[in-house]
Amino acid sequence: MTEVIVITGGGRGIGAATARLAAQRGYSVCINFRENRMAADGVVRAIEAGGGHAIAVAADVSREADVERLFATCDRSFGAPTALVNNAGILEKQMRVDAMDGARIQRIFATNVIGSFLCAREAVRRMSTKRGGHGGAIVNVSSGASRLGAPGEYIDYAASKGAVDTLTVGLAKEVAEEGIRVNAVRAGYIYTEMHASGGEPERVDRVKNFVPMKRGGTASEVAQAILWLLSPDASFTTGSFIEVTGGN
C-alpha cells in the first residue's frame, strides 16, 4: 500500500522540510498552503526532481469547506492519507494580552486549533479501522511555548498550542483501538520565516542564549522527529511528545 501524507502549511519552514523528508521516505505528499503558491510549488518541484510524487493544494485550514476539499483532492490524486502532519500555524505581532483585540485571538485559534481539529477529523474518517480504513498516524506540531507561556510576546499563540497538546492526548486515547496513533512534536526556537510575522525576523538569534544548547534549531531537525513518530519504529508510541527545543 502506498503511504500518503497530508502536510498542512507545507510550503515553508518545518512543513516544507517535512514534505521533502517524507518524499525521501517513499510517501506521496499532499502539500497544503494558504497563500504562497510559489513556495509550495517549489517544494513540489524539488520532490519530483528527486523522483517523488507531490501535489500542492490551496486551502485555509480554518475553513471547514476548504479542509474537506483538501482531503478530497488528496483522495483523488493519491488515495486516502495514511499520515497527517498538522503543521499549519500562525502568530501575530508581539504584544501583551492587554493590548490584544478579540479579532486577533480568534484568528490565532481559528487556524492553530480549529484547523488542527478539522484536519484530524478528516484524517480519522479515512484512517479508522472502524470506518473501513487501514489505520495511520497523526503528528501535531506544537511548541515549547505551550509549556513556557510566551509572556510579553505571544500568549495567544502559546495558549493555542496548549490546546493542540490536549487534542493530541485526548485523540490518541479516542482512536488507539482503531489503528491510529496520535503524537506531537514541541518545536523550540527554530530558524523559520514565521518569526517575521511577529515583527522580529532575527528573534532566534536574540533568544538562543536562553537555550541550554545555546543555539536555535533547524526545520530539518524538527522534520526528523516528525518522521520518526510517523514511522513503524514508533509503533507503540501514542499520546506522546518529542521536545525539539534544545533543552528548554
Q: Which residues are catalytic?
A: 157
Q: Which three cell numbers stand for residue 21?
A: 523528508
Please name the residue that has the C-alpha cell 485559534: 109
**CA torsion sign, 61 to 66 to 72 to 76?**
negative
Three-state secondary structure along 136-204? EEEEEEEECHHHHCCCCCCHHHHHHHHHHHHHHHHHHHHHHHHCEEEEEEEECCECCCHHHHCCCCCHH
Distance from C-alpha of 13 to C-alpha of 164, rounded to nearest angstrom:
19
Q: Which residues pair with 132 in a beta bridge?
A: none
Counting Cα atoms < 13 Å in the Cβ hemisphere of 52 gives 24
* Phi and psi, residue 31, nearest 5°: -95, 120
Buried b (16+ CB within 10 A) or exposed e, 207-233: bbeebeeeebbbbebbbbbbbebbeee
